[in-house]
Amino acid sequence: MNLCINNLTRRTIFSLLLISGYGYADSNIVTAEQAMNCNTAATPGTGDACPYPLDVEKADESFRKTVSRAMEKAGLGKLWENEGILRGPQTPLEPVAISGVTWLRSSSCEQHNCGEHYIAYLYQPNLKAFVGLYSNGGKKLLIGNPDADQLRFLQSQ
């Protein structure tokens, strides 16, 4: 009996080590400026893969402040704060060209309600600019002042 428990324990510990090693892969991209050149085909969380917004917020004060200010100004600050409901699933920050300008695009949504309650947004690190489209059911709210091309892009996300 003791032998079975020890084998089970060893397997469990080994499995947890493998899982934790995969879950905490080392990414070289930690700022929004670096993300402008990230590899969109790479596995998230590895090497030069595009980073997730929550990870960039930890290292990039300009990104964190610009996004927070825009969300506050739109009246969505409480939804975006640390435990806000829009802190659910996110897409990596990936570079996209819109009207000749490279932006980082991402989206975030409410856990288990992504189809109804989400935000799609664009961030430009050199301009410290943020624009977005917030959706809550059928209601939509523009964040910032997206131009026509940016708005079309946000609506397609």
Q: Residues 21-76: pLDDT tens digits?
A: 333 345 688 999 999 999 999 998 889 999 999 999 999 999 999 999 999 999 99
Between the alpha carbon of residue 64 and those of residues 15, 25, 38, the distances in Å are 35, 22, 19
Residue 10 burial (CB < 10 Å; 0-12/13-18/19+)?
exposed
pTM: 0.81
> If pLDDT is split at 50, 70 and 90, which confidence band does 116 have?
very high
State the Cα–Cα distance between residues 115 and 134, nearest whole angstrom.
Answer: 12
Cβ count within 10 A of residue 45: 18
Instruction: Catalogue all structural domains in the chain, each as residue range(s) with its CATH number.
Output: 28-156 (3.40.1420)
Whether residue 14 is predicted with pLDDT greater than 70 in this model: the reply is no
